[in-house]
Every structure is written in C-alpha cells, then in structure tokens.
Amino acid sequence: MVDGVFSMDGDRADLKGLAALAEQYDAWLMVDDAHGFGVLGERGAGLCEAEELDTGQVPILMATLGKAVGVSGAFVAGSHALVETLIQRARSYIFTTAAPPALSAAVIKSLELIESEAWRRDKLQTLIAYLREQAQAKGIELMPSDTPIQPLVVGDNERARRISEALFEKGLLVPAIRPPTVPEGTARLRITLSAAHETGDIDRLLEALAPLLDATEDESPAT
Ligand SMILES: Cc1ncc(COP(=O)(O)O)c(C=O)c1O
C-alpha cells in the first residue's frame, strides 16, 4: 500500500517499480492517490494514468473526494469481487448511513469537469513551474516536487509556526507542518497551489515569505 503523491513532501511514489515488485511476489498493489487524482494524468485520473499502469498492475486504487473533486468522502476502485467484499465486510461500512444522492450528483459533475477541462491541470503546472522558478531566484529552496504540494523545510517547529502565523496575518494560508506528521527536525511550510491561484498570488507569497525567512534565520533549534 502506498500513497501516489506523498501528502507532506509532494513527491511521487515509484509506482512502476512497486508494480513490478508486486508482480514478482504475486502481491496486490494498493494506491492511495488522494493527492494525484484529478491533478495528474491526461484525463486527471491520477498517478496511475500518468504512469500508464493498468488495473492488473494496480488492482486497488483509492482516492479521496475532498481534494481535487471538491466535496468529501472517498472511493475504492477495483474488481467486482473486491468491491462486493468491501461492501459486505468492511466494518466501517456496516451500520453507516450511505453518502447522500446530492453528494453523488456533485461527484459526477466534478468528474465530468476533471475529465473535460484539462486547462486546470495545465494551469496548475504553469503555477508550479512559476513558483519554483521565482522561489529559486529569491534563494528559497523548496523540496523537490512537481505536484501542487510544494513544501519549504524550515527545520525548527517554532520557526515554522511563527512564519505560518505571520503569513496568515497577511492573508496567506500556508500551514506549518510539524512532527509527528513529518520527521523530527523537518518542520515545514506546506505551500499548496490550486488552479484558482494566479501568478500574482505567488508573487505575493514570495514577497511576504522572503523577509520572514531572513528575520527568523538565526533562531535556536526547537526543543
Ligand atoms: C494520502 C491521503 N489519503 C487520505 C487522506 C484523507 O482524506 P480525507 O480528509 O478526505 O479523509 C489524506 C488527507 O489528507 C491523504 O493525504
């Protein structure tokens, strides 16, 4: 089981390598593509589509509906036998009220938009490239990532929290992610782009960020 796009680093799993391993050991590969679904692949079907993997190589694909799909919930896609087994046996399903039809209608519409309006994905890629380029020009070193999750490791927990709060006061939502969500000493600002952003938003972020990073540079490490 593996994330497609890792939620706190923004990098991608080596799905091809994992699929080959799974085949070698006659195992099933399950991918949680919460952060790839809707964002990667020609049609937005996620990392499996981008890596050209089929249902034989990835027999269990799940993704959430609360990110690119824009509502809430999640899905598991797989063989009829797998889905039927989950419906009959998954403890979290039994005695739980089904998702309402309105949610299904919203999901169907979202899927139509994801599939037919590739411009959002194209725009995201343009924004990602712009952010990375502009950050580099300002000497701000982002983690290696080509997805909308663009973390900036600041190391110290308190420093991350303070910068995040200062950004929030300027109307910029950049959460500070700290251990145990990420390893000790790698507290970070989790910059996340969406297709609703514009390059001007990125300029605003970097203009606000650069002096905050400088001002907090010499802080002592977190306790
Ligand atoms: C990889 C991954 N899977 C699942 C989830 C859970 O999503 P939800 O909030 O829709 O339950 C998250 C949340 O960020 C996630 O990063």
Cβ-based neighbours of 92, under 8 Å, separated by 6 or more: none
Asked if residue 180 has a cis previous peptide bond (ω within 30° of 0), the answer is yes
Say if CB 175 and CB 168 are below 8 A apart. Answer: no
Residue 223 in this model has a pLDDT that exceeds 90: no
In this structure, the residue with its CA closest to atom 9 of ligand 1 is 66
Q: Which residue has the tokens 């020009």?
A: 137
Q: What is the mean pLDDT of residues 187-216?
A: 96
Say if ligand 1 is within 6 A of residue 33 CB: no
Per-residue pLDDT tens for 39-69?
999 999 999 999 999 999 999 999 999 999 9
Strand order in the sheet with 149-155: 149-155, 187-192, 176-177
Q: What is the mean pLDDT of residues 152-167?
A: 97
Phi, psi dihedral angles at 188 (to 5 degrees): -145, 160
Q: What is the pLDDT of residue 218?
A: 65
Per-residue pLDDT tens for 76-116?
999 999 999 999 999 888 888 888 999 999 999 999 999 99
Per-residue confidence band for 221, with pLDDT thresholds at 50, 70 and 90: low
Q: What is the rounded distance in angstroms from the CA atom of residue 31 to the CA atom of residue 16?
A: 12
Domains of the chain: 2-116 (3.40.640.10), 119-215 (3.90.1150.10)
Say if CB 134 and CB 203 are below 8 A apart. Answer: yes
Say if CB 64 and CB 34 are below 8 A apart. Answer: yes
Strand order in the sheet with 74-77: 2-3, 30-32, 60-64, 74-77
Phi, psi dihedral angles at 201 (to 5 degrees): -65, -40
| Residues annotated as part of the active site | 7, 35, 67
Q: What is the pLDDT of residue 222?
A: 47
Q: Which of 90-94, 140-144, 171-175, 187-191 has the lowest mean pLDDT?
A: 90-94
Residue 30 in this model has a pLDDT that exceeds 60: yes
Residue type at position 91: R
Looking from the CA of residue 65, the nearest atom of ligand 1 is 10
Say if ligand 1 is within 6 A of residue 64 CB: yes
Per-residue pLDDT tens for 137-153?
999 999 999 999 999 99
Say if ligand 1 is within 6 A of residue 3 CB: yes
Alpha-helical (H) ranges within 65-198 are 80-89, 101-116, 119-137, 157-169
Q: What is the pLDDT of residue 111?
A: 97
> Rounded to 10 degrees, what is the CA torsion of 210, 213, 215, 221?
180
Say if ligand 1 is within 6 A of residue 147 CB: no
Compute the distance from residue 192 Cα to the ligand 1 centre, in Å: 15
